[in-house]
Amino acid sequence: MNQQDSTPMTGLDQMVSDDQLQILKAIIPYVSPHGQRFLSIYSKVRELHNTMNLMPNQGEEMRICGSDSASSMQPLDILNEIRPFCSKSAQQNIDQVIQIFAMLQMAELFQDPDHL
C-alpha cells in the first residue's frame, strides 16, 4: 500500500498500539483463515488491554495537549483533527467549512475597530 493512500493512526491508536501489534496485523493476510481469525481477535484484545491500562482511573479524561478543559477546544481544531480520517468527499466538505470559518473571522476583524 502506498504511504499516501494509508489512513493515519489517531492519537489513541498510537498510544494503545506498538510496533509488535502493527507487525502482527501486517502478517494476518498471510496466514490460514483460522490463523487470521485468531490473530485478529488477539490483536484487538491486546489493544483493549493496553487501553484499559492507559486509563486506570474512571475520573480521568483524555485531553488535547496543553488543554486544561474541554471548553478550550475550538471547532476548527476539531475539524482539522478529524479531517485526515475522512473520505475525500468528506475532506472537501470540511475544507469548505474551514474556509467559511476563515471568512467569518476576517469579517469579525474588519468589524472590530480595535484591530484596524
How do residues 8-66 score in pLDDT, each as one tens digit?
888 888 888 988 999 999 999 999 999 999 999 999 999 999 988 887 665 556 555 54
* Residue with cell string 492507559: 54
The cell numbers describing 36, all together, are 487470521
> How much is the pTM?
0.57
Number of Cβ within 10 Å of residue 79's Cβ equals 16
> What is the structure's pLDDT at 39?
95
Amino acid at 9: M
The cell numbers describing 88, all together, are 475525500
**Residue 72: pLDDT over 70:** no
Rg of the chain on CA atoms, in Å: 20
